[in-house]
Structure 1
Amino acid sequence: MLVVHAVWADDALTLWAEDSTGCAVTASRAAAAAHPYAADAETLRAALAAAAGEDPVAKAESGELEVCLPSTARHPLPSPALPPPPGTVAARPRALRRWRVDALVVRAGACALLAALRGTASADLALGADLAHLTAVHAFAEHLVAHARLAPLVVGEEPCARWRPLLTGADAAHFADLAAALPPAAYAHLDPAAPPDAAALVHAVLAALVDETARTALAADPPADAAPWTAALVGDEARARHLDPALADRLRESFDAAHRTTRPRLLLRLAEPDPEEAEDAWRLELWVQSAVDPSLRLPLRDLWRGEGGAWLGPDAETAALRALDRAARVFPPLTRALEMLAPDTVPLTLREAHAFVRAAAPRLDAAGVTVLLPAWSERAALGLRLTVRDRPPAGRGGVGADDLVDFSLEAALGGQRVDLDALAELARLKQPLVRLRGRWTMVDPAALRQTLEFLRRRGRGRMRRSQALALALSPAPETPAPIESADADGALGALLRGDSEHRLTPLATPPGFHGELRPYQRRGAAWLRFLGDLGLGAILADDMGLGKTVQLLALLADERARGTAGPTLMVCPVSLTGNWLREAARFTPGLRVRLHHGPDRPHGNDLARLLGRTDLLVTTYGVVSRDADELAAIPWRRVVCDEAQAIKNSGTRQARAVRGLRAETRIALTGTPVENNLGELWSIMEFANPGLLGPAARFDRAAGAGDDGGRAAALLRRRTGPFVLRRLKTDRAIISDLPDKQEMRTWCTLTPEQASLYRAAVDEMTERLDDTDGIQRRGLVLATLSRLKQICNHPAQFLGDGSPLAGRSGKLERLEHLLAEALAAGDKALCFTQYTAFGDRLAPHLAEVLGREVLWLHGGTPRPRREEMMRRFQESPEPMVFLLSLKAAGTGLNLTAANHVVHVDRWWNPAVENQATDRAFRIGQRRDVQVRKLVCVGTVEERVDELIERKKALAESAVGAGEEWLTELSVAELREVVRLAPEAVAG
């Protein structure tokens, strides 16, 4: 996999890439400076050509680039979009280090390449944060050109004509957002000792992209005017032409008018004292800035001297003085400038500088004055560093949450360690700005004093492992400063680093588990056991189809083999109860599994006696909500929530009831990444680890701090990361573990309405069966089987009355959920049904529920329409669902864009179903294909499925076409096949 990066250097788009194989560096390079995982230029060129086409990279020049990246002592840290290279262990970066990489330089056609790469992502290529940001800037440039929000400008000592953006109103706000979102990788080629001005950097890129976009648009539709100034602004070749000086002067006069439509802005820059200067020698430098082009700045001293600034307009001096007068009303020390003849700098004391940063700067910014502050003003200055060390075990094996560990805390200011003596001296000085080892830091003197007292009283000692974990992740309110880093060894260290899954010994296939665990499933089960042994909850958020059910059953089988006592309560949606019963019977037949649902479920002593001989009790969210007090009184060994998004709304009765259950440990299973919605994350994490994230209101405030340089998000990841295991099918380590085609049953239940219709159809058949024979008997059986299959699909299909579809079919509910997860993962899915009339109703219903168009192909689809739908499905980059009639689309189609296949209803002929599946699983398919067959538990669908599997085990040819072989069964066998079992009904 390649992760492609880009910077804007020397007025050109410069791209380089990291290679997940880690072996793309040529041997001729100097090993000391070469990036060990960088792709060579031709590998990058080929990857870009495959993703964006040959044209955008045809003129790209090969070159080299030096970039400063977070690194350890031996290697650069990989991009977050790239899995660590083999053999690389997670490590904290020690410093920024310069590395040399092969690069491609695009001087002409950068816009075409950025447009082609926008949104591109695959298993082979991903965009780094820097390149993704550049594609966003290019999209903004296209918006400005499309809405004519640009103006011509003459630039350079040797004058040239350029298009420049006009940024006002909402466009100015969007530009500010782009500048604030500039990732560090975007300026990795610059000197790290002098952090760039993000606004100026982004504006330079935006101006270049606007110019290229406008020239390309005008070249496609040339203006009628053939004047020299028009020619200078049309076409890429004209960019290099120098204007006649006389023409340039005339153009400047007319072009500058566009920039005088808005007044210039006052810019104030706070400058620190030089190292040899006194601590009170702060300065506020006065500048003026174009309101249209933020990159155009001029010191006020040059404006007073009449040097430059023609672009500011004839009244620039007056406008600057008026802006300075307004700013002085917000920050009184600026009145000193008004007393000077030609002010350019205002001296400030240490306390005035602190007041400017803390109070005045936000108010000045709101008043339209640009303020530039030192980088340290945005960082949390005072923090604590926690060190935890395991104590030798006291004669027992294993790792427990109540084990004692040694801990120590020390203060850090601006990222620098401060011992108690230095902290005491700083607290004595009571200064809000301090210079520590040559670097300035802003501190709260009261917080310094509180931290000093706290460290003297509670700075070191022993505590339980669970207390150390809570301190590292979510310090108590009495902790005077945030824990900015935690260094731990042993099990706790692995957990905090987030690599415990890879450091743990994978779980061996436990006794009583029937099946083979894939390597990533063994690691996942070991991770669940590890957290459980620590008394901690877990969120297993593996991608759909990676086997969350299997990993949990393996954990239960392992605990039963180890003699761990206590029942596990499984809480799931009604439609999944049958799935858990069937999967447990298949993989762990030795587990004592019970269903706790329906009006006849036991209560009181009966329930207590049942739990005494139960390993896994399967129930529903509705039952937990209704029996909340009774179930909360039971000391469960473990509570598991499947489809945990059911408790994402923390205030619902259902979520409160589930969180109120008592358990030694808890597990949440969800195929949806919990990071997507922060409010939902709190609710799920509060179930898994109560109290970890604090009260909901405090969490909402912290999570909403979006303008803090990413500190809130980083803190959130640090607190939740150890407890969330998320693997994707696109991960190389996971893909290598998966088969090419993964077939599975998806178990569904019937609604009461379906069950009533089903029983009526069965009763009618059994009454007439004894009175028929021969062809009549065969016809009766086939007709009844068809009715039962339609009822299992949906009551509206059986009744044919055009009634609504929503909320009446357990199978439809499961189908909606499966497709929603596939679309959320960016995948495409094929759905097969043998009933055209049902498909006519199903396609618009799914389109409404999923919020996307659902293609529908059947026997009556005209050939041109059929080919158009196939083309759209194969070529569209968007996730999509294609519903197909089994007869019309079972053969002859190539739909390899899909990696999900769902058989809504069964043809009961494996050969026919396999032919349909092969529309996606065929030559040209590059991804693993997941095939799901929807089966209603306790119905004819499940029993026929079992019969088919038994016949397939004997010989594939023993199964005939369709359902006709079923007509040869005896009366007793038929009655058993169509019987409705109690577990089939959802409510």
Structure 2
Amino acid sequence: MWVVHALCDSGGRLLVWAEDSERPARLPGRAPAGVLAHPFAVDGEELLGAVPVDGVVESAELALPSFASAPVASPELVRDPLTAGAAPRGKLRLRHWRVGAVSIPPAVLPELLAAELPGCRIGSDARFLGELADFAESLVTGGRVIPSLLFEGDRPAARWIPAMAGSDSARFVALRDAMPHALRAASGDAPEQVLHAALNALVDDLARTKLTRGLVAAEGPTAAWLNALTGEPHFAGDRAQLRTLARQLESWHTGLAGQSPLRTCFRLHAPEDDEPDWIVEFMLQAVDDPGVLISAQDVWADNDHVLHRWVDQPQELLLAELGRASRICPELDAALRSTHPTELVLDTEGAYEFLSRAAHLDQAGFAVLLPSWWGRSQRQLGLKLNATSTGTAGAVTKESGIDKNALIDYRWELALGNETLTQDELAELAAAKVPLVRMRGRWVQVDRKLLAAGLAMLEQDATGQMTALDLLKQAGGEGEEQRPLPVVEVNATGWLGELMSGQADQHLEPVDPPTGFGATLRPYQRRGLAWLAFLNRLGLGGCLADDMGLGKTVQLLALEALSRQEESRPPTLLVCPMSVVGNWQREAERFAPGLRVHVHHGGRRLSGEDLRDEVERYDLVITTYPLAARDAEALREIRWERVVLDEAQNIKNSNSRQAKAVRGLSARQRIALTGTPVENRLAELWSIMDFANPGILGSLSTFRARYAVPVERDGDTDAAARLRRVTGPFVLRRVKTDPAVITDLPDKIEMKQLCNLTSEQATLYQAVVDDMLARIAESEGMERRGLVLATMSKLKQVCNHPAQLLGDGSPLPGRSGKLARLEELLESVLAEGDKALVFTQFAEFGGHLVPHLSARFDTEVPFLHGGTPKKARDAMVERFQDPEGPRIFLLSLKAGGTGLTLTAANHVIHLDRWWNPAVEDQATDRAFRIGQRRDVQVRKLTCIGTLEEKIDRMIEDKKALAQLVVGSGENWLTELSTQQLRELVTLDAEAIGA
């Protein structure tokens, strides 16, 4: 596998070179002083034969991040410097290496990058130059290039150079900030110098490909220069005359847009109160410091001596620039009739014309300052949907004709933001000559086409009737693509209004389960049962999202017991993780012994007609997510009364096989049970809600545009609030920390246990950090994210124990500060006669801990992980819950963090951090749940001075986002800048123990 790189040297040449993952057979030893051949580099002749473009084989000297014995391989080469064998060690530094390279014409770079190169990957530096080539192409095709005369050594050369202004300059700055360090390996110049050299080379070569013949047939230095702009750039001529021409061209360049240190700025002032006039104020703005603004009045008064630090004649500059701007915005001609123009007075129609041309002025290199509402207010025009229903939520179980198919009266209205427009205001908007109207004390821009479409809609469909379910879908976004305007608000009265408020459970009378139910429900559980029964009566699905340990299982079983009082009900299908099948069986037998329960699992499970006949004999059929996907066709043939998903986060990926399988099941009602409806992305919530009530949040693309992108990317609290309102009717969420929910649960005491690294751990930690920082600067996109996550995992392994990272099966004692602290904690737990749960996200490391802890404390240490069979899991849980059972229970976070009741333990130890508060809390709630009689002590082991401690501080900020509606996973770490990552992973001095 080759990795193809491209870079630009100080002379503007584009060089291509490549690394080969198959060479060398062994790394060179410690290199002596001087420049050595790069050990991974492909021979120049071999490279020339592989690339589909013409070029010249050359040799290049590159300054690359290196260990003492070898350069750091690029991330795309997939080399791991920590693997056994030829693993370079030592401190990273820049070292010079010689590589074989191919010099190519800049204009053919896009062709090279687009070509199919079997067995090759494109390096981040080459991809970056491809982006720069796209920028150069836009400059050339847009005519934003100018001819110049340069002296390269003693040889005069005709070159095309970019004439950047406005958005071009901003794009150049963005490219400069994103430039990979590897692009500077051949020159060592500052980033801006390297980027200018590369851009100039690309612009010059691309411009020449557009001009294939000479421009003039005359003779003389000027004619020779003009002709050299198309063919060979170097030419001969009288040096004195050419230097004079070069000075004249340089003076011309300085006067062009974007080349002067000052540029003209236009600031638009909207009229206040009843004033009719709009004012466009003229100013000069410093290009390098946009905060420096000088009014045209000061320019003409010449009383601002600071101006002369930039230009000698600011008045002439202002007049010339206003004249140039008038070609784009003819309204400026009126101001130019004055000898000292300072402003332009406009009416509303003229102001709208100016606003419409603002983007063109910016593109031409002028600064334009506009009112903050411009460009946003047209999105405020929307639709309001008002509906009327009769009855109340409390009466829904008593009144017939109140369900999701009940017809309700509706009325559409037009609104600006959340303000409903009156008929007079609509008439004023319709009569306005321009889309700029002052309304309710502020100026708004209204898209006239959208207004006309909205008015046309109201003429055809202002009032009518629809089903309650259709109205709920309208609120969620269904049909948004077909409507001329977005729906900004949905209101309803009566029982439907109580449902849409998201507080229907507060309006319902608490419900008790039928006689014979084996549990006394707490008040909040009775309200939860009433809410589930309410949705059941309406025929709507929902998500019971109570905190772990608040009894979602018992509430669902109570609903099932209520439902079974009605005759001729089809069975309910319950889909859950394999680890909790046994728990559901035992809980059903304990609380609802009247329910007939069947487990659809194992090699002898039924299918086809046999399965259909069999399930008719039962009330509750339990299966697992993998089997729901595998047996989807057979399960689809059965009409279920209800489909229930336990740990519903298992369908968070809506495109997964099991998510598609459960959405395809036929049922009168669908219920999702999960304490974490959102872990990482809002799309997970869409998947769960679309299962419970298909189409209730619109299509996934609509949901992303309306909620996910504004909330996740922009932190839009308004969008988050809208989402809470829309999902509120179908999500019931209670937390254990709410005193109104539960009063007799003991306290949960969380503690951070700080541990030191041993010297061995610190050495390995630093090696991993050095490797990542060397590779991260030259990677981007998915490669960068993968590299960050892989490095984070390695650093967590180092913090746990050196043997975990090395994977060499070496002894555990005396080598890890965290393991030493774990042993101290467990010794204290056992001395007090208590029990402890120990969670690790690394199942393989858990396997190494079992024999060590068993020998250390002379006790049985069961280990539950993803490979533990169902019967063994159930037996482990049962034995641990027994007062005489094992005192230490080791669990992998993924397999043991959900669905289990382990209240025999009153200590929870998180050996390594998952960095997702929701996942850690789920695991803790195995012990901190109903049935726990003692305070639960939770200890999270964190290595001081490492990324574990620093990320722990960052997690506190992420928890606030979870409250907004978004969970927090590890992927946010991959979006940190390189500098932020450097600060995050740097090992502090206090990390190493004495």
Could you state the TM-score of these two structures normalised by the residue count of structure 2? Answer: 0.49
Q: Which has the higher contact order (CA 8 A, sep 6+)?
A: 2
